[in-house]
Chain A
């Protein structure tokens, strides 16, 4: 049952081959028996899930419901869930039970999906390995001695291990695409503003975007359909109309122009990963696409630009955690200053504190122009680099990551080495573009990903290319060894 696609599950539910309660129980049982190995969930809400499944079954029995009715999913623990602890994998929010639902949570519930629980992540989504979680590292289902990627590592590992058919993630600099690539699943980072950020705990507000993580582009299309759209409660959400994503999945790739930035195939890219990505591109060429070498101007500025802008925004956003209105508070504060400073020292982990301090520095008097303003200018240059490419091609393609999953602990002592992991993903967030990571094969029995980057609001095209690729290949059907037991 856990190997079915979402469309197949929906069909099974409609044809009464199984009920949503049976489907939900099946995945809850898998979580209970297998997640000890992966640590991909922070909270599991079995009773609530079974009640929601029962309600879905009643809807289905009446011949009603949509494509997601009765389908189990999970939410990254960054999305607020009313009455269900939402920790952002931080000690700061270990006791936080939100009084409201994130718009994404609300929309997916209204679409009839069944939430099984909240997935593990890097603390406040800051990390590329899922090792900064207050609840411990997540293990990669392909090799438990390796990281699943981050920050949406719990969602990626849970989907890869077939503990849930699909999950939500968020992507500020690669946090959907990188773990999707390292766990062998499909992940879409939508255009900035495509999906509401209300109730999605903020890291860097001009970069953060929620999106779907699932086994195939088709499954992602079903999820995005329910998640996307303007939200009057998020002034940065886009008023742009939401197309029918599944309607265009089958479109031919004849005439499609795919740009290959030479900057994404140069030094730093693992040789075998390059071979897998090239083979995936050849496949797209066979399907009718034309491959064009392009140059992505200023792409080398993405890492330094991102590591000023993201920490600057984080230092501002995370100032709300003051030990007064909700969340952690230190014991017996002497005075207000002691309350703030000790609450924040004890409540935040090392990487979060580092980023707040870097951001505070970049925004502080005397440094603002040299760092923050400079980075905002470089950000425009990066966006203009993409604009120039999109005058020649329809989409841009390359590797999602420089190589396959690295070992647990391999980069924890060296923040800068960890930051380099996101060299191919960061620029997309700076420019606000949509991008999809697709499983592109194995390197030493570990998955690697192909990244497709589209024009603003061109998610339908990316999902279409992903779907056609997945009809011609089997990489997205591969199961981690022992993971599907």
Chain B
């Protein structure tokens, strides 16, 4: 199967990755090859098979509701690209 340019634009927007016009041809070809390869799964009869999400079929464990972490905001913000007054800076989102 082949994946068309408009479909790539759609998933690239969902994934928040810019795909330049010049990348489109190669990407379309490679993604189509990968999808062709996984296509063989469609031939397998999986009716009644419970989907397996976790190798040990484990369930989430609970812990006591106690405070165990300390506030390290200053350290975490020190590695951010842009901060001001303890806030992370991003381009203006509300006009």
Chain A residues with a Cβ under 8 A of chain B: 96-97, 99, 192-193, 206-207, 232, 235-236, 238, 298, 301, 303-305, 307-308, 315, 319, 322-329, 333-342, 344-345, 348, 353-354, 356-358, 360-361, 364, 370-371, 373-381, 383, 415-416, 419, 429-433, 456
Contacts and interface: CB of A to CB of B under 8 A. Distances in A.
B90 A336 contact: yes
B93 interface: yes
B31 to A, nearest CB: 6
B52 A377 contact: yes
B63 A380 contact: no
Given A361-B3, A415-B33, 4 more contacts: A236-B54, A336-B91, A345-B17, A374-B41
A97 B79 contact: yes
A360 B13 CA distance: 10
Chain B contact residues, majority secondary structure: loop
B27 A357 contact: yes
B46 A357 contact: no
Interface in B60-86: 60-61, 63, 72, 75-76, 78-82
Nearest to B16: A340
Contacts of A379: 51-52
A430 B34 contact: no
Nearest to A428: B55
Chain A contact residues, majority secondary structure: helix
A307 B80 contact: no
B84 to A, nearest CB: 13
A358 B35 contact: yes
Nearest to B40: A304
Contacts of B20: 345
Contacts of A238: 56
Given A344-B18, A345-B18, A329 B51 contact: no
A352 to B, nearest CB: 10
B81 A416 contact: no
Given A307-B38, A325-B80, A353-B17, A380 B11 contact: no
Given A329-B81, A383-B52, A356 B17 contact: yes
Contacts of A337: 16
Contacts of B7: 361
Contacts of B61: 235
Contacts of B76: 99, 325-326
A416 B17 contact: no
